[in-house]
Amino acid sequence: MFPLDQPGPTAFYLTLYLATFVLHLLPMAYVVAGAAVLLVRTLAGARPVDDPLAEHFRQWLPFILSVAITAGVAPLLFLQILYHREFYTANVLLFSRWMAILPVLVVGFYLLYLMKGDWLWQRPLVVRVTAAAVIFASFAFIGWSWSENHLLSTAGQAVWTEQYVAGRLNYLPGELWPRIGIWLSGVFPVMAAIVTWPLARGEDNADLSATASRLAMFAAIGLVVSLACIGWYLGVLEPAARTAVLDAPLRVWQAAFVVGAVLQFAAWILIWRAGRLEPLPRWLATAGALFMVAALAVGREAIRTSRLDMTALLPRHQAAAQVGGFWLFATFLVINFAAIAGCVYLVARYARPVEAERAMDKRRPQR
Amino acid sequence: MSDLYYPINDFGPLMKGLAIGGLGIVHVFLAQFAIGGGMLMCYFQWLAQSQGNQLARQFTDGFFKFIVLVSFVVGAITGVGMWFISIQVSPRTIGLMVHYFHWLWAIEYTFFFLEIVSGYLFYRYGPRLPDAARMTLLVAYSIAAWFSLFWINGILSWQLTPGRWHETHNVWDGFFNPSFWPSLLFRTITSMTIAALVACLVANVLPRLERRQREELEHRAARFLAPMVLMPVLAVWYFLAIPHVSRSWVLGGSAAMSLFFAVGTGASLLVGSYAIFGLLRQQLYINWATALLLVSLAFAATAGGEFVREGVRKPYTIRRLLYSNSVSRDEVARLRERGCTTDDPFPLQDADRYPTPQLAKGAHVFRNLCSVCHTLDGANGLVHLTGTWSDEQLRLNISKLQLTKPFMPPFAGNAEEVEAIVQWLKWNANGRPAAWDASIDLAALASIDRWLEEAGTQPGLGVLSKDGS
Ligand code: HEM
């Protein structure tokens, strides 16, 4: 089963890469699709306070963006061990076009904080919509850049040389479009599955029915479009890469993909018909999304490995695996994630509800 | 598979070191602010809960919002930015660092998570939490933030002082290298300083406070400036730990380095004396303008320090392993035979601009071996540095590059390539005429060969350790 069918050190780093990459993709999906929802809802004239979905994203997008960025660090690390030359070459070739993701990220980030405050919501609709549109555009641009960089990194020396001599700062092969299509639509069901949990916990369940069906609609459309893009992508892939995805070593992942898709459709149909976010469909949607994201991440890797000479990379992976520090990492992973759980527990257990706080404020003497 | 060759971009008139240094300053300043800020918030929270100081509590919430807004956003992104810009300047350097220390970076990643979660929880729920829970979150945040410094400090100081690592290749020998502790302690104190100064600024701009309250906040925050008295000792310790050549460049051997060092030291001294005599002893109240001035001085000190730190590694990016131009020490001899342009799969971008193939080769040599530290006629521009030189001088000084200035690496190419870059420099100095004769001076090539031979393939005088390694 891929990636465990690779030589030891390669399989080891591939597994770590894939596991941490999925941890990046989940908050990333939440951020991109969340920004899209916020844009659509703002366009529709909704004010966050009247719309649980928009309000949720307004409150949580800044933090989850921090999580997405932080979660990107680990795959970035393992990526450099697995494919250092490929990744670096693509980075350098795209140069300022690649580095542009950083200022764009800053802009998107601060606009999210602006959305979170009250100031923006007292401005005219056009200002609010512009802010929401810029936020979405900046995240879409960043995702796009990662795709472009990824494809260039697997394109090989001939393309690199040609690209360099021409001084071209973009790389737009035909397969870029279905690829962007997949993740730009695939983020919706993932976001929707994640967001069911905090929404269902919310206090004012009364008017969640509109939200539930809206969420179901976002998820279902996202699923259908992403499946179509996956078909499109398989169509444009070169035969070797297509075989790599559809071949026997990926059987388990292909199954996970199908099961994931079925579970999600089932979940969203249930939610749509009930107009409520019941626990069972929430679990189904979440499990389905996880299966599908994991399968996509693995399939994506199979395409890359089919394009590179993995045996040539092996000595480097072997050498890296000799370097010390893994056990300390494993230890701190446990300690720090336990500490994180502890922090979350503290807040869940001891935070006073907002109302109590307001009441206390009133009683407190004014300074 | 060798990864000697990467595409190389032209940064225009900007020197590549300046690009890293420029972003580095912003990042380091913000990161240190976040680290010291966490500690300072622990102190204020302690004041709030042990002495019932409501003002301290109020300030903690206000100041922490500021930390989150500034450091979570720009701090985090410039951190990723440092990584990306290091890739732009020298993929091989970052590649080796990742190769040897990836688990330490992975450890840092777990601390990043703790930092953002505890920080964000405090930001969002802090005002609604009881004291003990507030303190726990702040302590978790501060520990996580400080440890991110701890881990990265080991990797960065290894670049300059790898110490015993070269013999053992043990990750801990590399990590706890000779400059690890002085550098860690120095940066910890810097963090506290920056946080205290920014706190004075924030105390001045927070709305709805009386003058008396602003004063109290400042005096509390100013306590975090006291450790600055240790800075001179730590600086001396650091200087004793780094290679003596690096030390000598800072102390006059390189004009630019000495200048940055003077800026850094001068600014630190100003902040330090004001802090100790004005804020701590005289208990002066400073208004927002003075506070802003002090913060700017601290920024200048950071700037000086970062440039020095980037600069003193020359001619290496990783001492005794990899030169600044991404040629490793053990590759020089082979490239002397083979040439540094022969196997490069990335040709020149503008080859047809040059009248002769020799000039194009010269430009190629410049790109591969020199462009990381020099521009043609901008910052540290070669045309200006060599404007008055004769052909002979050019050939000699470039062949014996590591002896011309010991902070340059040995020339990692063959005699034709030396001649090519010499011609290319002359052509540029002459205003790039459309016609230019190729030089086929066999006697010159023979001298270059002899000079290359004499210079050897090892780094320049004084760059070697006493045992010659
Ligand atoms: C809002 C910000 C971001 C968005 C929307 C985003 C989106 C994406 C997308 C769509 C991909 C997959 C590209 C493809 O396979 O075609 C990706 C890959 C990746 N991202 Fe992010 N990303 C963001 C920020 C970051 C940051 C800040 C980091 C680093 C700390 C990061 C690290 C990675 C890594 C390492 C990969 C894998 C690249 C590869 O395997 O070639 N991402 N990201």
Condensed to tens digits (0 to 9), the pLDDT of residues A108-155 reads 999 999 999 889 999 999 999 999 999 999 999 999 999 999 999 999
Q: Does B127 touch chain A (CB under 8 A)?
A: yes
Residue B324's SS3 state is: coil
Tokens of B350: 């503008």
Q: Determine the residue type at B214.
A: R
Residue A206 has pLDDT above 80, yes or no: no
Q: Determine the residue type at B271.
A: V
Residue A83, C-beta contacts closer than 8 angstroms, at least 6 positions apart: A153, A304, A308, A313
Helix axes A176-201, A52-82, angle to 10 degrees: 130
Q: What value does the mean pLDDT take over residues B2-22? A: 82
Rounded distance from Cα A75 to ligand 1 centre (Å): 9
Q: Does B14 touch chain A (CB under 8 A)?
A: no
- CB atoms under 10 Å from CB of B129, counted, come to 20
CA distance A199 to A197: 5
Please return the burial class of B383, using the count of CB atoms within 10 Å of its CB with bins 0-12, 13-18 and 19+. middle
Q: Looking at CA atoms only, how far is residue A114 from chain B in angstroms?
A: 11
Residue B10's SS3 state is: coil
Contact (CB<8Å) A339/B6: no
- Domains of chain B with CATH codes: 16-323 (1.20.1630), 336-463 (no CATH)
Q: Which of residues 270-329 of B touch A (CB under 8 A)?
A: none
Average pLDDT in chain B: 91
CA distance B120 to A116: 14
Contact (CB<8Å) B78/A343: no
CA of A140, closest atom in ligand 1: 5
Which band of pLDDT confidence, cut at 50, 70 and 90, is reported for residue B74? confident
- CB atoms under 10 Å from CB of B393, counted, come to 13
Which band of pLDDT confidence, cut at 50, 70 and 90, is reported for residue B463? low
- CB atoms under 10 Å from CB of A98, counted, come to 22
With a 6 Å cutoff on the Cβ, whether A299 touches ligand 1 is no
CA distance B375 to A334: 48
**How many Cβ contacts (< 8 angstroms) between chains A and B?**
196
Q: What is the pLDDT of residue B416?
A: 96
Long-range contacts (CB closer than 8 Å, 24 or more residues apart) made by A262-265: A262/A288, A263/A287, A263/A288, A263/A291, A264/A189, A264/A193, A264/A219, A264/A223, A264/A288, A264/A289, A264/A292, A265/A220, A265/A223
Q: What is the pLDDT of residue A359?
A: 59
Which band of pLDDT confidence, cut at 50, 70 and 90, is reported for residue A366? very low
Q: Which of A312, A339, A357 sits opposite B114 (nearest CB)?
A: A339
- Residue A87's closest CA among A77, A102, A96? A77
Which region among A173-182, A189-198, B18-27, B138-147 has the lowest average model confidence (pLDDT)? B18-27
Percent of chain B with pLDDT over 90: 74
CA distance B225 to B193: 5
Chain A nearest-CA residue for B345 = A161
Chain B nearest-CA residue for A353 = B128
Q: Give buried/exposed letters for B153-166 (b at 16+ CB in 10 A, else e).
A: bbbbbbbbbbbebe
Which band of pLDDT confidence, cut at 50, 70 and 90, is reported for residue B308? confident
Residue B467 has pLDDT above 50, yes or no: no
Question: Beta partners for B323?
Answer: B316
Q: Are B36 and B197 in contact (CB under 8 A)?
A: no
Q: Are A145 and A98 in contact (CB under 8 A)?
A: yes
CA distance B166 to B313: 16
Q: What value does the mean pLDDT take over residues A32-38? A: 97
Tokens of A190: 């993932």
CA distance B404 to B396: 9
Q: Which of B8, B72, B94 sits opposite A66 (nearest CB)?
A: B72
Q: Looking at CA atoms only, how far is residue B247 from chain A in angstroms?
A: 31
A325 DSSP 8-state letter: -
- CB atoms under 10 Å from CB of B380, counted, come to 14
Q: What is the pLDDT of residue B300?
A: 94
Q: Which helix (H) or strand (E) holds A140?
A: helix A125-153
Q: Does B31 touch chain A (CB under 8 A)?
A: no
Q: Which helix (H) or strand (E) holds A352?
A: none
Condensed to tens digits (0 to 9), the pLDDT of residues B145-180 reads 999 999 999 999 999 999 999 999 999 999 999 999
Q: What is the pLDDT of residue B464?
A: 60
Chain B nearest-CA residue for A365 = B54
Question: Beta partners for A177?
Answer: none
Nearest CA to ligand 1 atom 4: A143
Q: Which of A146, A151, A307 to mutate to test the pocket of ligand 1 (most atoms within 8 A of CB)?
A: A146
CA of A32, closest atom in ligand 1: 5
With a 6 Å cutoff on the Cβ, whether A183 touches ligand 1 is yes
Chain B nearest-CA residue for A108 = B73
Which band of pLDDT confidence, cut at 50, 70 and 90, is reported for residue B1? very low
Residues in A closer than 8 angstroms to B348, CB to CB, are: 165
Q: What is the pLDDT of residue A10?
A: 97
CA distance B354 to A111: 48
Residue B451 has pLDDT above 60, yes or no: yes
Q: Which of residues 438-467 of B touch A (CB under 8 A)?
A: none
Q: What is the pLDDT of residue B2?
A: 67
Q: What value does the mean pLDDT take over residues A323-341? A: 97
The answer to whether the Cα torsion of B207, B211, B213, B218 is positive or negative is: positive
Contact (CB<8Å) B113/A332: no
Which region among A28-37, A135-144, A345-354, B98-107 has the lowest average model confidence (pLDDT)? A345-354
CA distance A152 to A95: 12
The answer to whether the Cα torsion of B193, B194, B200, B206 is positive or negative is: negative
B71 DSSP 8-state letter: I
Condensed to tens digits (0 to 9), the pLDDT of residues B254-268 reads 888 888 899 999 999
- Residue B375's closest CA among B428, B338, B436? B428
Contact (CB<8Å) A343/B118: yes
A4 DSSP 8-state letter: T
With a 6 Å cutoff on the Cβ, whether A303 touches ligand 1 is no
Question: Beta partners for B328?
Answer: B322
Residues in B closer than 8 angstroms to A90, CB to CB, are: none
CA distance A111 to A128: 10
Contact (CB<8Å) B73/A110: yes
**From the candidates A26, A64, A69, A87, which should be mutated to test the interface with B, based on the most B CB atoms within 10 A?**
A69
Residue A91 has pLDDT above 90, yes or no: yes
Q: Which helix (H) or strand (E) holds B322?
A: strand B322-323
Q: Determine the residue type at A198.
A: P
Condensed to tens digits (0 to 9), the pLDDT of residues B272-302 reads 999 888 888 888 888 899 999 999 999 999 9
DSSP B245-314: HHHHIIIIISHHHHHHHHHHHHHHHHHHHIIIIIIIIS-----HHHHHHHHHHHHHHHHHHHHHHHHTTT
Q: Looking at CA atoms only, how far is residue A344 from chain B in angstroms?
A: 8
Q: Does B183 touch chain A (CB under 8 A)?
A: no
Which region among A121-135, A319-333, B206-220 has the lowest average model confidence (pLDDT)? B206-220
Condensed to tens digits (0 to 9), the pLDDT of residues B368-395 reads 999 999 999 888 889 999 988 999 999 9
Contact (CB<8Å) B99/A351: no
CA of A108, closest atom in ligand 1: 1
Q: What is the pLDDT of residue A365?
A: 46
Nearest CA to ligand 1 atom 42: A72
Q: Which of residues 197-216 of B touch A (CB under 8 A)?
A: 208
Q: Are B360 and B348 in contact (CB under 8 A)?
A: yes
- Look up the ipTM and state it: 0.93
With a 6 Å cutoff on the Cβ, whether A67 touches ligand 1 is no
Average pLDDT in chain A: 93
Q: Which of B72, B74, B80, B113 to mutate to test the pocket of ligand 1 (most atoms within 8 A of CB)?
A: B80
* pTM score of the predicted model: 0.94
Q: Which helix (H) or strand (E) holds A159?
A: helix A157-166
Rounded distance from Cα A82 to ligand 1 centre (Å): 16
Q: What is the pLDDT of residue A356?
A: 61
With a 6 Å cutoff on the Cβ, whether A146 touches ligand 1 is yes
Q: What is the pLDDT of residue A205?
A: 52
Tokens of B444: 């010159």
Q: Give buried/exposed letters for B103-124 (b at 16+ CB in 10 A, else e).
A: bbbbbbbbbbbbbbbbbbbbbb
Supply angle C-alpha A124, A127, A133, rounded to 5.
140
Nearest CA to ligand 1 atom 15: A147
With a 6 Å cutoff on the Cβ, whether A79 touches ligand 1 is yes
Chain A nearest-CA residue for B129 = A351
With a 6 Å cutoff on the Cβ, whether A307 touches ligand 1 is no
Q: Does B346 touch chain A (CB under 8 A)?
A: yes
Q: Looking at CA atoms only, how far is residue A78 from chain B in angstroms?
A: 8
Residue B386's SS3 state is: helix
CA torsion angle for A226, A229, A234, A238 (degrees, to 10)?
-130
- Residue B8's closest CA among A57, A153, A95, A175? A95
